[in-house]
Amino acid sequence: MLSEKSRVIAAIAVAGVLAAGCASQQGDPSTAASGDEKITLTLNLFGNMGFKELYTEYEAAHPNIKIVERTSAYNDHHRNLAAHLATGQGAADVEGIDTGFIARFRGQPQHFVDLNRHGAEQLKARWLPWKWEASVAKTGAQIGYGTDVGGLAMCYRRDLFEKAGLPTDRDEVSRLWPDWASYFEAGKKYTATKPEGAAFFDGAAQVFNAIVGQAAVGYYDTSDNVVVASNPEVRKAYDQVLRAVADGESAKLVGSSPAWNTGFAKSQFATVGCPAWMLAKIQDQAKEFAGKWDVAAIPGGGGNWGGSYLTVPAQGKHVKEAVELIAWLTAPEQQIKVFGKHGILPSTVETYQKPEVTGLKHEFFNDAPIGKIFTTAALNLKPQYQGPRAGDIQTAIRDAINRVEEGKQNGDQAWQQMLTDVERISK
């Protein structure tokens, strides 16, 4: 069998052959939508996916189309989408779905436009093979086009490390933590001399996600059996992060919460697990600290956390235009632009040979070679299987860890309640 990297290289070659032919078929901005009808296309997303600058370009080429983006919190967004699909109304023309939820929604292909009926098969070679397959339903329907992949690195504040007496050079920092045990040991050293008000990491649940994202098996086996209770990697990660909490390394912030956003602005932590999409969040929330953030290797090497898809709900009124839009937004050319502006890593394989991607350095992150860091991570990662309720299970574990950080339960109590919650979710 071919290795994942071999499959990727082969896919690059195929993508190059198909690229010219596909451009004219799906979402080419040089071809305006038919007719003079004024159409508003709505997109429901979560967080900053890097598209806003692209909307102006698309609207200029399609003067009869106006694009309206609406964003909401991660869990709220996916909860609302599930409700809109169940009731048959309220969904946007385009809905974003995170990798943690894509397995759940691909199990409901009747609620989405099958992109294969709109030329998706001709575009298939654009994406990393595993990225494409993750949004294919058992019926064979393709419900979404991939936007980004996570990859994993560790972002850190150089100035806070310097004040705590730790190395600041990214290569030295990477050598500081070859594995997670070393990372938490570095956290102890940092905590002993830390600047006032600045913990070692943002919150235990976020570090937990990064650790579990490296495991061969996460919350499900490939037969869609939930293995949270029986997977030793899950409990090991849980225990590791809670020991670090007890050692005072955590700022005890909940990821993507208003308090977490404020934590960036007020320098309340020195490190954060950093999938590529995290770069955009850091830039949004820590504008005053450009050049003080940097990017090092993730402990343990490799792994993936996150990545998203754009889908077209079947209940939409402008299906043709919505399909054309998502094909254009996720095309390699647009993914390169998003990476250059926001650091959100492409999921399209041909981009990994483009010097504007592989050679990209980011001024905000002290000229870190993010192109090399994240494309290497993407090519080497072994994707973890995501079951139908993986996103909800991740939320249940996050809540358990948060209860411990808030002092409401001890680790064993929170674990047992979490297992009960997971069992309920999985039914």
pLDDT, tens digit (0-9, with 9 covering 90-100), for 29-49: 434 444 568 999 999 999 889
pLDDT, tens digit (0-9, with 9 covering 90-100), for 289-334: 999 999 999 998 777 788 999 999 999 999 999 999 999 999 999 9
Task: Inform me whether the pLDDT recorded for 23 exceeds 60.
Answer: no
How open is the CA angle 110-111-112, to the nearest 5 degrees?
95
Comparing CA positions, the residue from 362, 367, 363, 328 lying closest to residue 343 is 362
pLDDT, tens digit (0-9, with 9 covering 90-100), for 138-176: 999 999 999 999 888 999 999 999 999 999 999 999 999
Structure tokens of 22? 């596909």
| 273: DSSP letter | E
Helix/strand/coil percentages in the chain, nearest 5: 50, 15, 35
Q: Supply the pLDDT for residue 151.
A: 82
pLDDT, tens digit (0-9, with 9 covering 90-100), for 52-79: 999 999 999 999 999 999 999 888 999 9
Q: How far apart are CA 367 and CA 344, in angstroms?
A: 16
Q: Supply the pLDDT for residue 286.
A: 96
Q: How far apart are CA 348 and CA 147, in angstroms?
A: 8
Q: Is the CB of residue 238 less than 8 Å from the CB of residue 259?
A: no
Beta strand 94-98 with 308-311 is antiparallel
Task: Inform me whether the pLDDT recorded for 22 exceeds 60.
Answer: no
End-to-end CA gap in the chain: 36
Distances (CA, A) of 223 to 145, 161, 227: 24, 44, 11
Beta strand 65-72 with 144-146 is unpaired
| Strand ranges of the sheet holding 39-46, from the earlier edge strand across to the other edge | 65-72, 39-46, 94-98, 308-311, 144-146
Entry pTM: 0.80
The CA radius of gyration of the chain, in Å to the nearest whole number, is 21
Residue type, 15: A
- Mapped onto helix, strand or coil, the DSSP state of residue 331 is coil
| Burial readout 396-413 (b: 16 or more C-beta within 10 A, e: otherwise) | bbbebbbbbbeeebebee
Mean pLDDT of the chain: 90
Three-state SS string over 13-72 comes to: HHHHHHHHHHHCCCCCCCCCCCCCCCEEEEEEEECCCCCHHHHHHHHHHCCCEEEEEEEE
Domains by residue range for the chain, with CATH: 4-149+306-358 (3.40.190.10), 153-303+383-426 (3.40.190.10)
Please name the helix (run of DSSP H) or strand (run of DSSP E) that holds residue 347, with its range, or none: none
